[in-house]
Amino acid sequence: MAGKLQDKLVDALYGLGWAGVKKLPEPAAVALGRRIADYAWKRRGKSVLRLESNLARVVPDASPERLRALSQAGMRSYMRYWMESFRLPTMETVRFGQDVQMKDEHILREALASGRGVVVALPHLANWDLAGAWAVGHLGVPFTTVAERLKPETLFDRFVAYRESLGMEVLPHTGGAAFGTLARRLRSGGLVCLVADRDLSASGVEVDFFGSTARMPAGPALLAQQTGAVLLPATLYYGDTPKMYGRIHPEVEVPQTGTRTEKTTAMTQAVADAFASGISEHPEDWHMLQRLWLDDLEERAQ
Angle (CA) 214-220-225 rounded to 5° is: 120
Distance of CA 58 to the CA centre of its chain: 17
| Cis, peptide link before residue 60, omega less than 30° from 0 | no
- What sign does the CA torsion over 175, 51, 20, 137 have? negative
Distance CA 218, CA 272 (A): 11
One-character DSSP codes across 193-224: EEE-SS--SS--EEEEETTEEEEE-SHHHHHH
Cβ contact 52:68 at 8 Å = yes
pLDDT tens digits for range 214-263: 999 999 999 999 999 999 999 999 988 889 999 999 999 999 999 999 99
Distance CA 17, CA 63 (A): 36
Q: Is 83 helix (H, G, I), strand (E, B) or coil?
A: helix
User: What pLDDT score was predicted for residue 17?
Assistant: 66
Cβ contact 196:219 at 8 Å = yes
pTM of the model: 0.91
Diameter of the chain by CA atoms?
Answer: 55
pLDDT tens across the length of the chain (302 residues)? 444 545 555 555 566 666 677 777 888 888 888 998 999 999 999 999 999 999 999 999 999 999 999 999 999 999 999 888 888 777 777 787 888 999 999 999 999 999 999 999 999 999 998 999 899 889 999 999 987 765 566 666 776 777 777 778 888 876 567 899 999 999 999 999 999 999 866 678 999 999 999 999 999 999 999 999 999 999 999 988 889 999 999 999 999 999 999 999 999 999 999 999 999 999 999 999 999 999 988 766 55
DSSP element (H, E) containing 161: helix 153-165
- What sign does the CA torsion over 52, 54, 58, 61 have? positive
